[in-house]
Amino acid sequence: MSAKSEAKENGPDSKPMLGNRLFEGHKKYELTEETTCGVWFLRGDFLQRFANQKSYVFLYGLMGLILSAAYSYFNGTITTIEKRFQIPSQTTGIISVGNDISTLLVGAIITYFGGKGHRPRWMAFGLYTVVLFCLLNALPHFLYGPGDDALSLTMEYGGSTIDHNATQDALEKFHSSSLCKAKIESDDGPEAEGSSAPAIILFISQVISGIGGSLYFTLGVAYMDDNTKKSQAPVLVSLSYFIRMLGPALGYTLSSLCLKWYIAPTLTPKIGNGDPRWLGAWWIGWLLLGFIMFVVSSLLGLFPHTLPKAHYRRQISKMSNKSQVEEPDTKASVQDMIVTFKRLIQNKALMCTNGASIFFFFGYMPYWIFMPKYIEIMYKTSASEASLVTGAIGLVFSALGILAGGAVITKYKPKARSMALWNMTVAAISAVGLLSYTALGCPYTHDPVGEIQNGTVNYNSQCNADCHCDYVKYTPVCMNGNPYISPCHAGCKSYVTFENGSKIFTDCSCGQNQTLDGISLPSIAKAGPCKADCYKYFYSFLAVLCFLKFSGSTARTSNFLISVRCVDEKDKPASMGLGSFLLSLFAFIPSPIFFGYLIDTTCLVWGKTKSGKGNCWLYNAESLKYVLNVTASSFVFVGLLFDLMVWYYVKDVHIFDAPEEGIHEVATEKELTILKDGAAKQREAELIDDRKPDEGEP
C-alpha cells in the first residue's frame, strides 16, 4: 500500500502511534530523532529519501571499496618504498601491523562504546583518521624527495635548469663508481640516505588508521544486520562484501598506474620500468585516496541512529508480541563491558570461529601484503605488472566468489552446520592450493654468479678480488647468460655508451668470449638483468591463484552469519570488536613480522651503507618458494581443525528461522497496517480501563 492510499484510508487526521512527524517519501514511517537523517543544520526531506537499506549498503560498500583500496595500494607500492628508503621486509612487516596494534589496544573498547551510541557517526569519526593515514603516507616523499639514486638515473640530473655537461659528469661518476677499480677512495662508499624517520612516519600512519578501520568493519556490518530482515541479510552482506572486494582491485590497479610514472614525474628517466632500479611515483595515489575517502565518510555519517523502516518494524513486533518481555539494553559502562566480554569468551561456537579465522588469516596474510613482491621475485615481472595482476585479476575472482556464496545462501537457506561444513571444505582447498605453489615456480630465475663459502654465497670471488665491490650499488649486468650483481662484480673496467642510450661493459675479468678460431677476446657484459621467460609458468600460477581466490571468498558470508547468529543480538557489536582484538593479537600483528623475517632469510644481495645493512635487492626464488608456501599452508590446515569444532558447536544455532521476528518477517504492508490499527485499538481500550477507578466504578 502506498503512502498516499494509506493516508486516504486512515483519514486526514490519522497519525502514527509513535513520534510526531511524518516523512512522505517512498514509504511513510514515523520520524523521531533516532530515525532522522543528517546532523545539525544538514537535515531535510531530501536526505531522508536515502534513509533505507539500499542506500546504506551501497555507501557502506563504497566506503569499504576505498578503504580496501588504500590498504592494497600500500601493499602494491611496498617494494618501491623499500627501495626508496632502504627498508628491509621485516621492518615493512612491522610497519604494516601498526593498524592492528591500535585495534589491539583500543579496538574492542571503542567498538563496545560505539555500538551503544550513534553508529554511523562513530564510523565517520573513525574514517577521518584513515584520511589522515593517507596524507601521512605521502608525507615522506614531500620531506625527503625522490632521492639521489633516482635523480642520478634521469636526464635532468644536476638541477632544474638542464646543464648537459653537469648531467654527463654526474652520470659518468655514477657509472664509473660501479666499475672494477685497482683502489677505492675513502668517499666511494654510499652514505645512508635519509634515516629511520620515513619508516617511523609510515608506522604512525598505520597506527592511526587502525582506529577507523576497526570502527568501520565492526560497527558498519552490525548496523546493517540490525536494520535488515534476517532473510535478506545474506544477500545484502554479500553485496556489500562484493563492492568492498573490488577495492583491492582498484588499489592494485592504481598502484600499477602510479608506478609506471617515475618517482619524479617531471623528470625524464634513462631506464625503463622493467629495470630493478626503477622507482615509481608511489606517493601520488595517497592524495587521491585521501580526498575521496573524506567525502564518502562524511556522507556515511549522515545516516540515522536506526533506519525508519527497521524502527517501524520493531515497534509493530513489540505490539504484536506484548506478552514477550523484552530485556532492556543496558547503558555503556566499564562493568557491563567486562560482563559482556566474559559472556562472549564463554561462547564456544564464537571462540572456535575466531580460532579458525586466526589461523586462516595468519597463513594468508603474507600473500595479501607481499604478493606483488612474491610475483616480482618468482616470475621476474615489473612492480607495475605485479600490482596490476594481483589486483585487477585475482581480487575480481574474490568479489565474484562472495556474490556466488551470498546468492546460494539466500536461495537455499542452509543450516548452520551446512555452512560450517562448507567452511571446512574451503579451508582444505586453500591448504592444498597454497602447497601447490611450490610446484609453480619459474626454473629460469638464475642466481648471480658467486662462490659458496661456509654455506653462504660470497660474490667477491677471485676474478673480482681486487675490484673493491663492497659498497657498489645493485646495478645488475648479464654476461654469457649469467647474471652479476654489478659491473664491478663481473670485473668490468670500462663501458661504452651508444647513441640510443644503451650501454655495454667491457674488459670484464670474470668471463671470456671465444671466437671460432679459438682466440680469446675481452668479455662483454650487457647492462640489466638476464632475461627470463617465465610467462608460461606465471599463467599457471595465476590460474591456481584465481581459483583459490574464488573458492575462499565463497565462505565469507557463511562465516559472518555464523559469527553473528551464535551470540545475542545485543552482544553483536561487542562480539565483532572482540573478534577484531583476537585477530589483531594472534594473526594480523605477528604474521607480517614472522613472514617478513622468513622472506629476509632468503635474501641473496643486501644493500650496504656506511651505517649498516639496507634493503634486500635480490632473493633466492627457489628457497622462498618452499619457505613461504609450506609454512602458510600449515597454518591454514590448523584453521581447518578449528572449523571442525565450529561444525560441532553450531548444531543449535539458527541462521534464518529466528522466532523473535514472528509474523512481520513475511508480512505485507497491508498486514502491517492491520496490526498497527489493531494495536492502536487495544491501546485505546487499555486507557479506558485505566480511567475506570477514577470514575468511581468498583
Q: pLDDT tens, 210-258?
A: 877 777 877 777 777 777 776 666 777 777 777 777 787 788 888 888 8
Least confident range from 240-244, 450-454, 458-462: namely 450-454
Q: At what angle do helices 108-116 and 119-144 cross, to 10 degrees?
A: 140
Residues 306-332 pLDDT 10s:
777 766 766 666 665 554 445 555 666
pLDDT of residue 694: 41
344 or 187: which leads in pLDDT? 344
Q: What is the mean pLDDT of the chain?
A: 75
Asked whether residue 695 is domain-assigned, the answer is: no
pLDDT of residue 12: 38
Q: Examine the domain organization and report whether 545 and 409 are in the same domain.
A: yes
Last residue of a domain, one of 498, 527, 556: 527
Q: Examine the domain organization and report whether 367 and 497 are in the same domain.
A: no
**Residue 137 confidence (pLDDT) above 60:** yes
**Residue 139 confidence (pLDDT) above 80:** yes
Rg (CA), the chain: 31
Query: How many other CB atoms are found less than 10 A from the CB of residue 257?
Result: 16
Asked whether residue 48 is domain-assigned, the answer is: no
CATH number of the CATH domain containing 144:
1.20.1250.20
Q: Examine the domain organization and report whether 487 and 406 are in the same domain.
A: no
Asked whether residue 17 is domain-assigned, the answer is: no
Residue range(s) defining the domain that contains residue 246? 53-173+194-317+351-444+533-649
Per-residue pLDDT, averaged over 95-111, amounts to 73
Per-residue pLDDT, averaged over 662-667, amounts to 41
**Residue 348 confidence (pLDDT) above 90:** yes
Residues 513-547 pLDDT 10s:
555 555 566 678 888 778 777 888 888 898 998 89
Last residue of a domain, one of 476, 499, 527: 527
Q: Examine the domain organization and report whether 490 and 567 are in the same domain.
A: no
pLDDT of residue 469: 79
What's the domain count of the chain?
A: 2
Q: What is the DSSP string of 442-504?
A: -TT-PPPP-EEETTEEE---GGGTTS--TT-----EEETTEEESSTTTTT--EEEE-TTS-EE
**Residue 650 confidence (pLDDT) above 90:** yes
Q: State whether the Cα torsion 633-635-640-641 is positive or negative.
A: positive
Left, alpha or beta for 578 (phi > 0: left; psi -120 to 50: alpha)?
alpha
pLDDT of residue 515: 56
pLDDT of residue 666: 41
Q: Examine the domain organization and report whether 562 and 522 are in the same domain.
A: no
With the CA atoms of 191, 194, 200 and 204 taken in that order, what torsion angle do they form, in degrees rounded to the nearest 10? Answer: -160
Asked whether residue 628 is domain-assigned, the answer is: yes
Q: Examine the domain organization and report whether 289 and 425 are in the same domain.
A: yes
Q: Examine the domain organization and report whether 500 and 564 are in the same domain.
A: no
Per-residue pLDDT, averaged over 413-427, amounts to 93
Asked whether residue 357 is domain-assigned, the answer is: yes
pLDDT of residue 698: 31
Retrieve residue 567's grid coordinates. Answer: 551470540
Q: Examine the domain organization and report whether 472 and 609 are in the same domain.
A: no
Last residue of a domain, one of 507, 527, 547: 527
Q: Examine the domain organization and report whether 430 and 497 are in the same domain.
A: no
Asked whether residue 676 is domain-assigned, the answer is: no
Asked whether residue 204 is domain-assigned, the answer is: yes
Query: How many other CB atoms are found less than 10 A from the CB of residue 14?
Result: 13
Asked whether residue 370 is domain-assigned, the answer is: yes
Residues 487-521 pLDDT 10s:
888 888 888 877 666 778 888 888 765 555 555 66
Q: Examine the domain organization and report whether 383 and 280 are in the same domain.
A: yes
**Residue 79 confidence (pLDDT) above 60:** yes
Q: Examine the domain organization and report whether 231 and 356 are in the same domain.
A: yes
Q: Examine the domain organization and report whether 537 and 522 are in the same domain.
A: no
